[in-house]
Amino acid sequence: MNNTKSKAPVATQRLLTLLSAGVLLSALAACGGGKPAEGKAPAEAKEAAKAEGGKEAGGLKLSAEEAQRAGLKVETLAQQAFADAITVTATIRPNQDRIARVAPRVEGRIVQVTANLGAQVKAGQALAMLDSLAIGEAQSALLQAQSSQRVAQADFKRAESLVADEIIPQRDFLRAKAELEKASGELRSAQNKLRLLGGSARSDGAANSTFALTSPLAGTVIQKKAIVGELGTPSDALFTVADLSKVWIEANLTEDTLSKVRVGSAATVTVTAYPGERFAGRVTYLASVLDKDSRTIPARVEVENKDGRLKPEMFATATIETNGAKREALSVPDSAILLLQGQPTIFVEEHGGYEARAIEPGDKLSGRTVIKSGVAAGEKVVTAGAYALKARLLKSQIGDEH
């Protein structure tokens, strides 16, 4: 009897323990703690979603429509022959054969300025008006010479008619002729003096002390010192006009490169203001004397600049083709190379996608960059639209981090 009573609490305790365990398992199942083998499915689905979003083992995936919108162009790499070249830093200068520093021939007070800095002017166009005492005196002398010539002309005609009728002796006719020739000579002298001083005769016959300061050539006003009211003198140029349709790229060659360059060698010029653009030119001058301080030889490349984008005093880089033999090399357009995490990189099309590939770039030749390592001949490289692929790659990497 006592044994039966003692076993009842033990059985009750076991029953309570089993019930508690069952409740706990039910709660875990409701919270997703059960079926541990199925817990891998969401992670696999996430990786699949990433692959569908763009980045897989084959690189970035783009549909044909997306590639067209991004402007992607692909080129198959092949060995190409390039002329050897040297690259030097340079400075853009105005064409010194087409530049004029304009100053008045005589001293005069500036009364009007008609050309502004940066203005495009034609040959003979007035840049400013000046008032000069010397011009006024020359104008007066011209008017007097014109009057004397008219009187001498009238006397000669009268003497010519009278001598024909034998009314006056021959010596009077010859005297009138000599006076006319003298007056005509004085008139020509007065006209030449006025012209040499920079003035011109007025059609109304009135004396005028003002004259126009004109441009001797067509070009751009690159310097202006003329101010109304100030005195202009022959020793100080009031304007500088330059024809910038052709500019000079001035560079210095070291002694070891001098033997590789010839007058007439082709060259390309780049400036930081227009990245990716190259301006074609040709070497037109090599100095005959070495600069003893820098130990370099001045050289000049002439470049067409009809649109005026190349500005004097800009820094530039000139790549000059040498007279050496051509060499074979793999190359891509300069625009195909971009920086990815500080490393020069290109995108290669393979396995149906676009893979970023680190490379070792070499020399820049005629708008292309030689590739030393990282790709091989026959591979397809993205030559246009690489920045769109870079942006897509960085976007996918940011998504991975989050």
Confidence of residue 51 (pLDDT cuts 50, 70, 90): very low
| CATH 2.40.30.170 residue ranges for the chain | 85-95+244-325
Bigger pLDDT: 311 or 277? 311
100-132+215-242 folds as OB fold (Dihydrolipoamide Acetyltransferase, E2P) (2.40.50)
Cβ count near 147 (within 10 Å): 13
Answer positive or negative: Cα dihedral of 131, 133, 135, 137.
positive
| Strand residue runs (E) in 114-265 | 120-121, 126-131, 210-214, 219-224, 231-232, 239-242, 246-254
Read off the pLDDT of each residue in 67-73 and give the average, rounded to a whole number. Answer: 81
- The predicted structure's pLDDT at residue 139: 85
The pTM assigned to this predicted structure is 0.57
The answer to which of 80-94, 102-116, 300-314 has the lowest mean pLDDT is: 80-94
- The predicted structure's pLDDT at residue 83: 67
> Radius of gyration (Cα) for the chain, nearest Å?
45
The secondary structure of the chain in percent helix, strand, coil, rounded to multiples of 5, reads 35, 35, 30
Cα angle value 72/76/78 (rounded, 5°): 145
Q: Which residue has the tokens 């490393």?
A: 343
For the chain, give the percent of residues with pLDDT over 90: 36
Q: Is the pLDDT of residue 15 over 60?
A: no
For the chain, give the percent of residues with pLDDT over 70: 80
Give Cβ neighbours of residue 208 (< 8 Å, ≥ 6 apart).
135, 136, 139, 199, 202
- The predicted structure's pLDDT at residue 346: 86
- The predicted structure's pLDDT at residue 45: 36
116-120, 165-169, 253-257, 272-276 — which one is most confidently predicted on average? 116-120
The answer to which of 14-18, 47-51, 125-129, 362-366 has the lowest mean pLDDT is: 47-51
Task: Please give the biggest Cα pair distance in the chain.
Answer: 193
Confidence of residue 4 (pLDDT cuts 50, 70, 90): very low
| CATH 2.40.420.20 residue ranges for the chain | 53-82+328-401
Read off the pLDDT of each residue in 95-109 and give the average, rounded to a whole number. Answer: 94
Q: Is the pLDDT of residue 312 over 90?
A: yes
Look up residue 291 and give its DSSP letter. Answer: B
The architecture of the domain spanning 85-95+244-325 is Beta Barrel (2.40)
Is 53-82+328-401 a domain of CATH 3.40.50.300?
A: no
